[in-house]
């Protein structure tokens, strides 16, 4: 597949940021997230048929992006230091590309990291020449008329909820909706300072080194997509619920996560150099509705904290038990827990207590990030809703879960060391509940 960039420009906010909003303070949760870019890729079939329509589409995207940046002004700024964003209206990057001889279905039917990476403004792990907080790239597939829009968000000011709301607002401006109507509540509270709730701290060595060492990028990492059909998930949930003596019934994410974690345990039990007695599962938990009063859903930032479950690797894998243990680690994170955890600037001390004994040779870490139930499939800029929504990553021992296009299934992007992926694919739970390389278009 050959993709050629044809233009690149800086998109500035349509209106200057007011003086009193020039500095956006980061929270401690923003600080621990790191400053990498994470991508969301939206695929639209048969969007543009000629150069005139291509130009109109690009103009619409750039104009509405400029309007969106006025409300989300930190995305047009630059990281000032570990405590703040300078909202100086420098702007976001917008790249236009053409794939003259390629068909979009080539990617969607059997996507690979290398293919998806070509749709990004920058390659994974590539440091942009200009340190931006947001970069977008639109790729037109002239052979089939399809289009892919990739938006990369700086993790220092965005979690998946922030990113989804940014795209929703961008769509609102592109479609010409009345931004003052009740239906466009996403416009309100776009920038909400969470630094007062989760005060920043001076601990860069902890936030950047511990996390990066455990989930470092490597050429030895293989990433694949596993598709969990909605009917199979429903049957799995029912089975787990019937086996529970406590009345527990898993969510879709918990059920699929249990199968993935069981697969990792199976890999561990087969390893020649096996020395892990426990699997530590970390899952990002949205805090917006877990504090009292709730934080507005439209608030930007990393308003998430990890639920952590230490799971013994046993000979027999109990999926229900895995799901319920993960569920308990999520439910533990409530208003009372968070207030104690962040009280008096003790986040670092409390986090060290939680992690004590979990970063040793007996434990293997695996991180789950669930992007389900976000309105990404509703992103209609004026040419219809996306046929497929994806991401791309190369982080070791990570799974990103997204909704399938029908909203019932889950697509899991799983990144493992190459030596582990072959064993993971052959795990009985993965073979029973998941499939690979299913055509979507």
Same domain as 386, residue 241 = yes
From residue 118, alpha-carbon distances to 1, 34, 132 in Å are 9, 23, 19
Residue 297 burial (CB count, 10 A): 15
pLDDT tens sequence across 120-139: 999 887 777 778 999 999 99
Q: Is residue 194 assigned to a domain?
A: no
pLDDT band for position 182 (cuts 50, 70, 90): very low
pLDDT tens sequence across 330-353: 999 999 999 999 988 889 889 888
Q: Is residue 209 assigned to a domain?
A: yes
Same domain as 64, residue 132 = yes
Of the CA atoms within 13 Å of residue 391, those in its CB half-sphere come to 29
Same domain as 180, residue 209 = no
Name the nearest CA neighbour of 355 among 159, 256, 210: 210
In the predicted model, is pLDDT for residue 89 greater than 90?
yes
Same domain as 293, residue 416 = yes
pLDDT of residue 49: 62
Same domain as 312, residue 368 = yes
Q: For residue 29, what are its two tokens? A: 């949760």
From 128, 162, 187, the end of a domain falls on 187
pLDDT band for position 303 (cuts 50, 70, 90): very high
In the predicted model, is pLDDT for residue 188 greater than 80?
no
In the numeric block, the tokens 């403004």 are attached to 121
- Model pTM greater than 0.85? yes
Same domain as 121, residue 264 = no
Q: Is residue 440 assigned to a domain?
A: no
Of 270 and 159, the one with more pLDDT = 159
Q: Is residue 441 assigned to a domain?
A: no
pLDDT band for position 436 (cuts 50, 70, 90): confident
Same domain as 18, residue 130 = yes
Same domain as 215, residue 182 = no
Edge to edge, the sheet with strand 363-370 lists: 304-312, 278-286, 363-370, 398-403, 410-417, 221-228, 434-435
Q: Is residue 197 assigned to a domain?
A: no
Q: Is residue 196 assigned to a domain?
A: no
Residue 369, sorted as left (phi over 0), alpha (psi -120 to 50) or beta, turns out to be beta
Q: Which residues lie below 8 Å from residue 57, measured CB to CB, with a gap of 6+? A: 47, 48, 138, 140, 147, 383
| Separation CA 88–CA 46 (nearest Å) | 38
Q: For residue 369, what are its two tokens? A: 């990030």
CB 191 within 8 A of CB 301: no
Number of domains in the chain: 2
From 143, 158, 187, the end of a domain falls on 187
Q: List 367's β-bridge partners, or say none.
A: 282, 398
Same domain as 182, residue 56 = yes
Domain of 161, in residue numbers: 4-187
CA-atom Rg of the chain in angstroms: 22
Same domain as 301, residue 348 = yes
Q: Is residue 72 assigned to a domain?
A: yes
From residue 134, alpha-carbon distances to 23, 178, 231, 441 in Å are 17, 25, 37, 29
CATH number, residue 375: 3.30.559.10
Same domain as 218, residue 174 = no
Q: Catalytic residues, which ones?
A: 155, 380
| Separation CA 359–CA 261 (nearest Å) | 18
pLDDT tens sequence across 27-65: 999 999 887 889 999 999 977 666 667 889 999 999 999
CB 23 within 8 A of CB 100: no
∠329-333-297 over CA atoms, to 5°?
Answer: 125
In the numeric block, the tokens 């909003």 are attached to 21
pLDDT of residue 209: 40
Burial of 142 (0-12, 13-18, 19+ CB in 10 A): middle
pLDDT of residue 185: 52
Q: Is residue 168 assigned to a domain?
A: yes
From 136, 158, 187, the end of a domain falls on 187
Same domain as 177, residue 219 = no
């Amino acid at each position: 597949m050959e993709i050629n960039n044809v233009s690149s420009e800086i998109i500035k906010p349509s209106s200057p940021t007011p003086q009193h909003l020039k500095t956006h303070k980061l929270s401690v949760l923003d600080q621990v997230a790191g400053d990498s870019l994470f991508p969301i890729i939206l695929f639209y079939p048969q969007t543009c048929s000629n150069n005139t329509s291509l130009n109109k589409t690009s103009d619409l995207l750039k104009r509405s992006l400029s309007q969106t940046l006025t409300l989300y002004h930190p995305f047009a700024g630059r990281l000032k230091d570990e405590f703040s964003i300078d909202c100086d209206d420098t702007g976001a990057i917008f790249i236009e590309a053409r794939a003259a001889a390629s068909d979009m279905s080539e990617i969607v039917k059997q996507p690979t990291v290398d293919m998806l990476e070509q749709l990004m403004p920058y390659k994974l792990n590539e440091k942009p020449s200009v340190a931006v907080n947001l970069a977008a790239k639109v790729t037109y597939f002239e052979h089939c008329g399809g289009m892919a829009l990739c938006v990369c968000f700086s993790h220092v000011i965005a979690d998946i909820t922030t990113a989804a709301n940014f795209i929703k607002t961008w769509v609102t401006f592109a479609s010409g909706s009345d931004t003052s109507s009740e239906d466009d509540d996403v416009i309100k509270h776009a920038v909400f300072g969470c630094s007062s709730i989760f005060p920043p701290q001076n601990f860069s060595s902890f936030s950047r080194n511990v996390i990066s060492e455990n989930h470092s990028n490597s050429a030895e990492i293989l990433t694949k997509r596993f598709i969990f059909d909605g009917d199979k998930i429903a049957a799995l949930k029912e089975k787990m619920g019937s086996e529970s003596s406590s009345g527990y019934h898993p969510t879709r994410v918990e059920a699929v996560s249990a199968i993935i974690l069981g697969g990792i345990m199976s890999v561990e039990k087969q390893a020649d150099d096996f020395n892990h007695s426990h699997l530590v599962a970390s899952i990002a938990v949205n805090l917006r509705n877990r504090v009292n009063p709730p934080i507005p859903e439209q608030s930007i930032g990393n308003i998430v904290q990890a639920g952590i479950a230490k799971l013994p690797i046993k000979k027999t894998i109990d999926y229900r038990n895995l799901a319920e243990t993960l569920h308990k680690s999520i439910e533990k994170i409530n208003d009372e827990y968070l207030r104690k955890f962040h009280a008096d600037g003790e986040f670092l001390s409390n986090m060290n207590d939680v992690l004590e004994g979990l970063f040793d040779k007996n434990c293997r870490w695996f991180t789950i990030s669930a992007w389900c139930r976000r309105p990404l499939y509703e992103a209609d800029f004026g040419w219809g809703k996306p046929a497929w929504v994806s991401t791309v990553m190369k982080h070791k021992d990570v799974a990103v879960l997204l909704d399938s296009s029908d909203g019932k299934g889950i697509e899991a992007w799983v990144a493992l060391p190459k030596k582990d992926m072959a064993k993971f694919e052959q795990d009985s739970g993965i073979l029973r509940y998941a499939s690979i390389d299913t055509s979507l278009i």
